[in-house]
């Protein structure tokens, strides 16, 4: 049986000002699984995500990525295996051209020459942005910049892709294009989102994080159809949207 991509056990964390953000979080994500992380603002979602590749440390409990505990000993490998795509692509795009942005991580890891160019081309091809390789990122649309931001992470060939509100500020066509890309990727996916229909479309399983603990873990369609659960954790579907009428996201074969 293969090692889980991600295991979180008893994770608790308080900020220096005394604010306790996580109170003992436990869950496991299998290789290739697509899971949505849902919850109201202030639930601890960002704090949790920042523990997955060691940006935040110092709490109690453990986080394990592909069998490696997150900590100083394995930090370089953990950060290669866990790629985080932040909500604002401009937080990740800072080089003069798309190519240089996508090449930055692999080059910093020591890749050079034809192998580096092949890595860049492959990552851009996976997000449908190969033809924009020589363009300045600030000349691209918001949706295109988000796809390039995904490519910068894919260029590191991660095992786990973590996305923070991937559908925010996208027009309907860009939203659909990104969904098609995410479905095509052979990675473990953890998607932090308030966009509940997007979670239903892409992730067969969801976790509800509320007040620093996992309040629910189950099939996305089942959780979204649980009116009492939704009300209790300040989760609201768009007006008129019925999760029971939508085909659930297929799991990976």
Residue 11 predicted with pLDDT over 70: yes
Residue 251 predicted with pLDDT over 80: no
- Domains of the chain, by residue range, sit at 6-87+159-240
Residue predicted with more confidence, 244 or 26: 26
Residue 246 predicted with pLDDT over 90: no
Output the pLDDT for position 1.
44
Residue 101 predicted with pLDDT over 90: yes
190 and 161 in contact (C-beta within 8 Å)?
yes
Mean pLDDT score of the chain, rounded to an integer? 93
Residue 2 predicted with pLDDT over 80: no
Task: For the sheet with 213-219, list strands across it.
Answer: 82-85, 160-164, 188-192, 34-38, 205-210, 213-219
Q: What is the pLDDT of residues 106-158, one digit of tens each?
A: 999 999 999 999 999 999 999 999 999 999 999 999 999 999 999 999 999 99
Q: What is the pLDDT of residues 164-182, one digit of tens each?
A: 999 999 999 999 999 999 9
Q: What distance in Å separates the CA atoms of residue 129 and residue 32, rounded to the nearest whole number?
A: 24
Residue 241 predicted with pLDDT over 80: yes
pLDDT band at 253 (very low <50, low <70, confident <90, very high): very low
Q: What distance in Å separates the CA atoms of residue 36 and residue 195, rounded to the nearest whole number?
A: 10
191 and 52 in contact (C-beta within 8 Å)?
no
CATH 3.40.50.300 at 6-87+159-240, yes or no: yes
152 and 102 in contact (C-beta within 8 Å)?
yes
Which letter, b or e, does each residue of 100-112 get, where b requires 16 or more Cβ atoms within 10 Å of its Cβ?
bbbbbbbeeeebe
């Amino acid at each position: 049986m293969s090692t889980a991509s991600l295991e979180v056990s008893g994770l608790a964390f308080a900020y220096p000002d005394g604010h306790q953000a996580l109170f003992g979080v436990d869950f496991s994500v299998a290789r290739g699984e697509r899971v949505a992380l849902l919850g109201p603002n202030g639930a601890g979602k960002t704090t949790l995500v920042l523990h997955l590749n060691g940006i935040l440390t110092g709490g109690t409990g453990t986080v394990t990525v592909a069998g490696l505990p997150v900590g100083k000993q394995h930090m370089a490998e953990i950060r290669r295996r866990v790629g985080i795509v932040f909500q604002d692509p401009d937080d990740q795009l800072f080089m003069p051209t798309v190519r240089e942005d996508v090449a930055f991580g692999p080059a910093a890891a020591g890749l050079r020459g034809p192998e580096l160019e092949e890595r860049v081309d492959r990552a851009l091809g996976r997000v449908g942005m190969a033809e924009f390789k020589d363009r300045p990122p600030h000349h691209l649309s918001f949706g295109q910049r988000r796809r390039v931001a995904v490519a910068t992470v894919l260029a590191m060939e991660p095992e786990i892709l973590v996305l923070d509100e991937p559908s925010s500020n996208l027009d309907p066509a860009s939203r659909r294009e990104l969904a098609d890309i995410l479905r095509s990727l052979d990675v473990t996916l953890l998607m932090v989102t308030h966009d509940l229909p997007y979670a239903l479309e892409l992730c067969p399983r969801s976790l509800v994080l509320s007040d620093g603990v996992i309040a629910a873990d189950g099939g996305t369609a089942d959780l979204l159809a649980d009116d009492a659960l939704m009300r209790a954790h300040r989760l609201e579907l768009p007006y008129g949207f019925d999760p029971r009428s939508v085909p659930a996201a297929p799991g990976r074969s």
